[in-house]
Amino acid sequence: MVRSGSAIFYDGKTSERRNVTVDLDATMLSIRADQGHLFVRWPYDELEQLAAPDGMLRLAKARNAVLARLDVRDPALAAAIDERAANVDRSGKAHWRGRRRVIVWSIAATVSLVLVGMFGVPMLADLLTPLVPRAAERRLGEAVDAQVRKMLDPGEPGKSFECGLAARETAGRAALDRLVARLEGAAPLVVPLQVTVVRQSQANAFAVPGGHVYVFEGLIDKAETPDELAAVMAHEIGHVANRDGTRSVLQGAGLSFLFGMLLGDYAGGGAVVIATRAVLRSSYSREVETRADLYGVGLMARIGGDPRALGVILTRIAGANHPGMTLLLDHPDTQRRVDAINAAAPPKTSAALIDPAAWAALKRVCAGS
């Protein structure tokens, strides 16, 4: 084993380049002038390897107030120092071990984030949704509702995005209000309902946090009886009562939006846009959809409507060849839903929810001016 060799030493006080001899013992290296003068002794465990050109080992003493350094070009001497000093790694093995550790920890962090997204955030949303104050839910609903209108409104000149405002539509809007009032009167809600009909051709409806419910023109076109339309709205009222929209927003927008809500920021950044898209997708788990279905069945029975009407219109939509029908998108299997609805439905009563004239007017609620 080599015990000494030649090197270049810079004392860190001047720019002078000194040719030196490096002596190695069991615990440290000694740097001496050619005449024998001792410059410094550096313990191996205090050595620090510095960046250097190829073929050179550049060393310094770690945490040294003086910027002294040693340049070793003698391969045998460099190898001997490498053998003795744990902090010196000319082979690059320690570097690659460090990189492997970084890669492993990066993968672990990515997996952790995925697991938090898949399980942690939904679980946290489930726990926090019942604790969200109603006033906060209302403000959240207003922020999401504003984004919903921006995303759904095509902004066609001379054409209102919302149905029921033109002179030919007011009778239909009044009929819808009577139907909504009947549903709302039998539903134990703590927030008032705000039902909006919009000019969208899809057979769809969805609820926004805070009691907002959107009904698409395509759904009204597809409904053949007042009970069918009322049954879909009763289902959406179930989502309102169960606060499913708020839970969906918290899950879809993630932790940043959750913390923003805690700080009173309901419309900041892009989180509310993400939250709105989660609502527009209207995709709930089988359990959540079943709960809203059964709520709707009970509500229809309380107002004297047909408790099986939701199953009827779901079957019709599922069997139609219409690319815009998103009421069933990502929802549980339609036939299973219909079977569960029919199993829970009490016998149908003969009461009419609204008279034929009012229903005819409601069907024209998007007729235009």
CATH of the domain at 64: 2.30.29.30
Confidence at residue 330, expressed as pLDDT on a 0 to 100 scale: 44
* 254 & 349 share domain: yes
Q: Which residues contact 109 (CB under 8 A, 6 or more apart)?
A: none
Q: Give domain status of residue 215, yes or no.
A: yes
Tokens of 165: 């405002």
- Sign of the C-alpha dihedral, residues 110, 112, 116, 119? positive
* 101 & 195 share domain: no
69, 75, 78, 83: CA torsion to nearest 10: 170
Confidence at residue 354, expressed as pLDDT on a 0 to 100 scale: 93
Q: Residue 190 pLDDT more than 60?
A: yes
Identify the band that residue 182 occupies on the pLDDT scale cut at 50, 70 and 90: very high
Q: What is the mean pLDDT of residues 37-54?
A: 92
What is the domain count for the chain? 3
- Residue tagged 């009044």 (tokens): 174
SS3 (DSSP) at 273: helix
pLDDT tens digit sequence for 100-144:
666 666 665 555 545 444 444 456 656 666 666 777 778 877 888
Confidence at residue 274, expressed as pLDDT on a 0 to 100 scale: 54
* 53 & 200 share domain: no
**CA–CA separation, 136 and 131 (whole Å):** 10
* 349 & 256 share domain: yes
pLDDT tens digit sequence for 47-86:
999 988 988 999 999 888 888 999 999 999 999 999 899 8
Contact 368, 168 (CB under 8 A): yes
- Distance in angstroms between the alpha carbons of the first and the last residue of the chain: 100
Q: Give domain status of residue 368, yes or no.
A: no
For residues 284 and 260, which has the higher predicted lDDT (pLDDT)?
Answer: 284
**What is the share, in percent, of the chain residues with pLDDT greater than 90?**
47
Confidence at residue 73, expressed as pLDDT on a 0 to 100 scale: 94
* 76 & 112 share domain: no
Cα separation values, 276 from 52, 120, 145, 254, Å:
55, 21, 8, 12
Identify the band that residue 41 occupies on the pLDDT scale cut at 50, 70 and 90: very high
pLDDT tens digit sequence for 273-307:
555 665 666 567 788 899 999 999 999 999 999 99
Identify the band that residue 314 occupies on the pLDDT scale cut at 50, 70 and 90: very high
Contact 197, 366 (CB under 8 A): yes
* 127 & 138 share domain: no
Confidence at residue 61, expressed as pLDDT on a 0 to 100 scale: 92
Strand order, beta sheet including 194-198: 194-198, 212-216, 205-208
Tokens of 57: 């080992």
Query: For all residues of the chain together, what is the average pLDDT?
Result: 81
Domain extent, residue 52, equals 4-91
For residues 30 and 209, which has the higher predicted lDDT (pLDDT)?
Answer: 30
